[in-house]
Amino acid sequence: MKIVLASASPRRREILSELGLDIEILPARRDEMVRPGAAPEEAVTALAYGKAAEVSAIRPEALVIGADTLVAMDGELLGKPRDRLEAGRMLRALSGREHQVYTGLCLMENGQGETRVEESVVRFRELSDQDIEAYIATGEPMDKAGAYGIQGLGRLLVRGIEGDYYNVVGLPVGLLVDMLSQRGIDIWDLRQKR
C-alpha cells in the first residue's frame, strides 16, 4: 500500500519515518484559511480534509494522510505567526498559562475520507521578555502554530503536557494507529513490508 503525506511538515515526515513507514511526500498547495468564528475542532478537521482531498485527487489509489495543527487559548486560534512581532504577542499570551493543541487528521483513499481530532493541553512556564526574545531570535517560532515547537528549543518554554506529545508536534501517533486499525490496516504489517 502506498502512503502519501499531504504535508511539507518535516516534523510529520520525521514521525512517519521513525515509525518505519515508506511514505511519499506530496504537499497540498491550498491556502490554510480558517473560517472566521470556527471552533478549533472544526477548523483543523476542515484543513486536514482539504489537504487530503487535494492530494487524493492526484493520487486516488494511495492512502493519503492530511493533517493540520492549531493552538487555541481562550477561544482564540493561534496559527503560524506572520512575523516576529506576532510571534512575540503569541508567546506573551501563552506565558504562564495553559492552552490547547488540536490536530485534525484525515485518512483518504479513493475519494473516501475519515477525519478525527486529537486534543492535548500544554502548560507554559512564566516567560521573561528575555526568554521570548531569545527564542524568537532562533527563528524556530516562525513556521509553527502558536509560535513554538515542543520538539525543539520550544521545550524550554513548557512546564507540562496532558495528552499525546506527538499531537503537539503535529501528528498524533495513537490516533493515526487507531484510524489505520479501523480500516483493517495493521501498522506492524506496514513496517514489515518496507
The DSSP string of 63-128 is EEEEEEEEEEETTEEE---SSHHHHHHHHHHHTTSEEEEEEEEEEEETTEEEEEEEEEEEEEPP--
CA 194 – CA 189 distance, rounded (Å)? 9
Q: Which is it for strands 3-5 and 98-109: parallel, antiparallel or unpaired? A: unpaired
Beta-carbon contacts of 86 under 8 Å, excluding residues fewer than 6 positions away, are: 147
CA 154 – CA 122 distance, rounded (Å)? 12
C-alpha cell at 6: 499531504
Residue 68 annotated to the active site: yes
Catalytic residue (one of 68, 83, 143, 164): 68
Q: Which sequence positions are flagged as catalytic?
A: 68
